[in-house]
Amino acid sequence: MTAIQKIIVTGGAGYIGSHACKMLANSGFTPVVVDNLSTGFRWAVQWGELEECDIRDGDKLSQIFERHNPVAVVHFAAKAYVGESVENPDIYYHNNVIGTMSLLDIMHQHDVQRLVFSSTCATYGTPESVPIDESQRQAPINPYGVSKLTAERMMMDYELAYGLRFVALRYFNAAGADPEGEIGEAHDPEHHLIPLVLDVAAERRDQIYVFGTDYDTPDGTCIRDYIHVTDLAEAHVLALNYLLAGGDTQFLNLGNNQGFSVREVIMAAKKITGRNIEMVESTRRSGDPAQLISDSTLANKTLGWTPQLSGIDIQIEDAWRWHMKFHQHN
CA dihedral 42, 43, 44, 48 (to 10 degrees): 80
Active-site annotation holder among 81, 144, 158, 215: 144
Q: What are phi and psi of 312, to 5 degrees?
A: -65, -30
Closest CA to 201 of 270, 279, 282, 261: 270
CA–CA separation, 169 and 232 (whole Å): 9
CA distances from 170 to 125, 150, 183, 204, 254 (A): 12, 13, 23, 32, 6
Collapsed DSSP state (helix, strand, coil) of residue 172: coil
Collapsed DSSP state (helix, strand, coil) of residue 182: coil
The question of whether 144 is a catalytic residue gets the answer yes
**DSSP secondary structure string for all residues of 229-298:** HHHHHHHHHHHHHHHHTTPPPEEEEES-S--EEHHHHHHHHHHHH-----EEEEPPPTT--SEE-B--HH
Cis preceding linkage at 189, omega within 30: yes
Tell me which residues are annotated as active site.
144
